[in-house]
Structure 1
Amino acid sequence: MNKKNTNNNFKTDFPFFKNNPDLVYLDTAASSLKPQVVIDAIKEYYEQYCINPHSQDYQLAIKGNDIFEDTRKIISKFINSNENEIVFCPSATFAFNQIAYGLEKYLQENDEILLTNLEHSSLLLPFYRLIKTKKIKIKFFETNNQGVITIENLKKVLTPKTRIVAFANINNSLAIENNTEKLTNFIKDYGQKYLKNNDWVFKNILVIIDGTQSIAHTKTDVKKWNIDFFAFSGHKVFGPTGIGVFWGKNEWLNILEPLILGGGMNDCIETNGRFSLLASPTRFEGGTQNIAGVFGLGAAIKYLLSIGMENIKNHQISLKKYALQQLTKHLSNNIEIYSDNINSSNIIFNIKNVFAQDVANFLGTQNICVRSGTYCAKLLSNTLNTSATIRVSLYIYNCKKDIDLLVTALKKGINEGGDFLNEFF
């Protein structure tokens, strides 16, 4: 942990708070704030390098490429993978589109893909499109009342036609962590026993994990989990926007067709229309990458590691306990909380008889940043039985004072007539 932050005063590492001293930021699930070291790394690229790693004929380009590839090494160690399995891409959304596109040619009519109602649109829609192009079937399996995937519910939907199971190990709403290793082993055991289709090149059910929310909150171990694909966005883990990562087992990556074709990822191009692709990860990184973003992401992962995943988790648990105590103590007659598990970094709630967006907009007038709606998880209402909610998402730079200001603002909205609209009319 950084010595200057032994008292959890991490706000000093983030220029956002210096430039916005009156704001309470409770929207990390949408995007994390950026520490100075990440901003400095991006600035360093543009000021000292500003080169294309594809150029290798001069020393500055070679050095810049070394930093680029060092980030790949850092991430591979961070998630416990092989280095050549780490692919840079614009976002997790891009990654899931790439994965679905690459798998499309191997799917047959009536093959089944299993998802939950809590998944982000970025994971749902790339597979939804395959309903039209390949006439596959999408099936949903339930979570328990805390949003956790159970083996009992998986048993109800797995069939010999199941080809893919995809889910977030921590979703962006209720944010409860799934036991990915246990679930994957059960899925793989089922596939090994019942999968009889010799046309399926993967020979077992593929497990795809959305790590966009979990990457900054809990330890990732793709080898231990025994999964097949994993992806996350840099901006959720202190990094810049416009950079993401996807991982896949090397044997799978090298049989997937890339979504994007361009320079740097091909081995040869012939005049007869034939071309060949390089091996992973280069085959998926056509064109000039977001080099500054990779520099920033490398600094972000280093910063995260300097804090320690266990310290982050302990801080979140302590802060969420306090938040739940204060919300229930001061607003018990007016609030409905949907996520009271202390291991979650999110609090999902509504003020009774008030539309969620009205509350969120009111909080905005009080300099408190939260999110309302369904958080790009359009099927969330099927689980919560309400059309929209308010999300407070906590992270290492939040403190008890932030919670106190949130409670004070909510009490103000309730005491001024309870409709939270007085600030606007």
Structure 2
Amino acid sequence: MDIHSIRSQFPILDQSVNDHPLVYLDSAATSQKPTSVINTVNQYYQEYNSNVHRGVHTLGTKATDAYEAAREKVRNFIHAKSTQEIIFTRGTTTALNTVAASYGRVNLKAGDEIVISYMEHHSNIIPWQQVAKYTGATLKYIPLTEDGTISLEDVRNTITNQTKIVSLTYISNVLGTINPIKEITKIAHEHGAIMVVDGAQSTPHMKVDVTDLDCDFYAFSGHKMCGPTGMGVLYGKQHLLEQMEPIEFGGEMIDFVNLYDSTWKELPWKFEAGTPIIAGAIGLGAAIDFLETIGLDAIHKHEHELVGYAMEKVSSIEGVTIYGPSAENRAGVLTFNIEGVHPHDVATVLDTEGIAVRAGHHCAQPLMKWLNVSATARASFYLYNTKEDVDRFVEGLVISKEFFHNVF
């Protein structure tokens, strides 16, 4: 990877924040966008802005072709078998809520079990809480090991023949833990359960093959993988999607409407009511082109080197606690606290140095409780970050620690 060439394609990185060159370490929240994606979205609005699947005029046809071409790019990117299995959504949250509402509420009953883990993002907890309340099903949690990983032994001890849904994140947005999804999927299927995967943090950073994983549903967001905000994907096995009813109704998802009843279009359109996120889908297609040009294996290797380098540097600072597993089983996320300093204060000092990190509970309050903290700070790395960024970050941590320890 030619990092300097890659960085030059992200115009937002070429700026100063608080009189310091920007170091952006918050890609787990949202990634920056390359010029190719920005130009593609602008081109749609400037040259062929039109609704899709409706008009027969030239602009409408061009917009429809670009929108559906993006669906094919997504299918190929995650190795789904058919574009009928690719549903465009507003993001991971909408995708997971769709599965919970359309599949979970209909297929579960009292006595059934839903299995998740303590490391889940709120969008993979709350929908299942609601399903459990609605159906009388039981919500169960796979315990975590001391270093914040999931053992297959604990998976086997938690999943039973009463388990109907297992829903787990592929990569933790807090700990960076990479979960053994393929093996967990096999265990779930052995007990007759379906497997739902939150792929928000995995899809931008590593190769994903949903056919090889054999998961039943897989959700991810475009904005974390160099694409536009407000755009996401739900992959589902075709036979399951065909059984499910849509949860939004209106234009474009219908086949025929009469006075008292209606029928739905075939997949994938029956789950895409109303005017879709056209520019977002086309921009996501451009983001996929960009990532595939670089290569997901190269991106994953680069981030692994960065997080290993960062953990080595940060662990040498006295009074800093790093959460999660070793670098060998970790994606490009480093979550930490400085003893005696609130993470929001750490993030504020880092910002004065031009360094952007995340601070808070990261939409993972059950995990914060498991860690016995109220909040943490988090640096997350992506393809455009460098070891120089890490060095600046480490210098900023030293400044933060010295500033607050001198003040208090």
TM-score range, shorter chain: over 0.9
Task: Give 1:133's aligned amino acid.
Answer: Y
**Equivalents in 2 of 1:182, 1:256: separation in Å?**
26
Deviations 1:299-343 (A, max 9, x none): 0011010110111111112212221222233x1x22111135224
Task: Give 1:412's aligned amino acid.
Answer: I
* Change in 2 beyond 3 A, CA 1:40/1:253: same
Deviations 1:159-197 (A, max 9, x none): 2211100001111111121121111112212x1xxxxxx
Q: Which residue of 2 aligns with 1:62?
A: 61
Deviations 1:52-84 (A, max 9, x none): 112241222212211111111111011111211
Aligned to 2:197, the other structure's residue is in SS state strand
Q: Which residue of 2 aligns with 1:183?
A: 184
Q: Which residue of 1 aligns with 2:320?
A: 335
Matches within 5 A, 1:348-359: 348-359=335-346
Task: Give 1:245's aligned amino acid.
Answer: V
Deviations 1:398-419 (A, max 9, x none): 1111111112122122223526
Aligned to 2:345, the other structure's residue is in SS state helix
Aligned to 2:223, the other structure's residue is in SS state helix
1:87 aligns with 2:87: yes
Aligned to 2:203, the other structure's residue is in SS state helix
Task: Give 2:115's aligned amino acid.
Answer: L
Q: Which residue of 2 aligns with 1:15?
A: 11
Deviations 1:20-75 (A, max 9, x none): 47221100000000011110011011001111112241222212211111111111
Measure how far apart 1:382 and its partner are.
Answer: 3.4
Q: Which residue of 2 aligns with 1:279?
A: 266
User: Of 376, 382, 403, which aligns to 2:363?
Assistant: 376
Moved over 4 A (4+): none
**Equivalents in 2 of 1:311, 1:79: separation in Å?**
17
**Equivalents in 2 of 1:69, 1:163: separation in Å?**
33
**Equivalents in 1 of 2:367, 2:160: separation in Å?**
25
Partners of 2:144 and 2:151 within 8 A in 1: yes
Q: Which residue of 2 aligns with 1:194?
A: none
Matches within 5 A, 1:190-269: 191=191, 204-269=192-257
**Equivalents in 2 of 1:174, 1:135: separation in Å?**
31
Gaps of 5+ in 1: 192-203
1:152 aligns with 2:153: yes
Partners of 1:9 and 1:397 within 8 A in 2: no
Q: Which residue of 1 aligns with 2:288?
A: 301
**TM-score, structure 1 as length reference:** 0.91
Aligned to 1:235, the other structure's residue is in SS state coil
1:362 aligns with 2:313: no
Query: Aligned residue pairs: how many?
Result: 401
Aligned to 1:379, the other structure's residue is in SS state helix
**Equivalents in 2 of 1:206, 1:253: separation in Å?**
13
* Change in 2 beyond 3 A, CA 1:7/1:39: closer
Aligned to 1:231, the other structure's residue is in SS state strand
Measure how far apart 1:19 and its partner are.
Answer: 4.0
**Equivalents in 2 of 1:367, 1:235: separation in Å?**
22
Task: Give 1:182's aligned amino acid.
Answer: E
Partners of 1:45 and 1:292 within 8 A in 2: yes
Gaps of 5+ in 2: none
Measure how far apart 1:256 and its partner are.
Answer: 1.0
1:37 aligns with 2:36: yes
**TM-score, structure 2 as length reference:** 0.95
